[in-house]
């Protein structure tokens, strides 16, 4: 999702259209987070901890991978 919006934003010449795409991407991100039962603040806190703690980051990555 992020890469798709990033590519669209980079390819868009109009600043107004770029802002519209940024707003749309942000809405989709908020929906994805809240659909999982988290608040944006909880998600942000988790991401900060994951960035600063390699052990937490690894646990998150393991949970995100589908079971094989």
pTM of the model: 0.66
pLDDT of amino acid 5 = 87
Decide if pLDDT at 4 tops 70.
yes
Given a contact cutoff of 8 angstroms between Cβ atoms, the answer to whether 8 and 21 are in contact is: yes
**Domain residue spans of the chain:** 1-37, 39-68
d(CA 68, CA 56): 21
Under the banding of pLDDT at 50, 70 and 90, the label for residue 2 is low
In three-state form (DSSP H/G/I as H, E/B as E, the rest C), the secondary structure along 10-40 is: HHCCCHHHHHHHHHHHHHHHHHHHHHCCCCH
Summarize pLDDT for 6-45 with one digit per residue, the tens: 888 889 889 999 999 999 999 999 999 999 999 999 999 9
Summarize pLDDT for 53-62 with one digit per residue, the tens: 999 999 999 9
């Amino acid at each position: 999702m992020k890469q798709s919006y990033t590519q669209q934003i980079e390819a868009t010449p109009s600043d107004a259209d770029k802002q519209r795409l940024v707003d749309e991407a942000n809405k989709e991100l908020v929906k994805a987070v809240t659909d999982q039962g988290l608040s944006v603040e909880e998600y942000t806190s988790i991401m900060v901890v994951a960035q600063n703690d390699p052990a937490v980051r690894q646990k998150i990555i393991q949970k995100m991978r589908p079971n094989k």
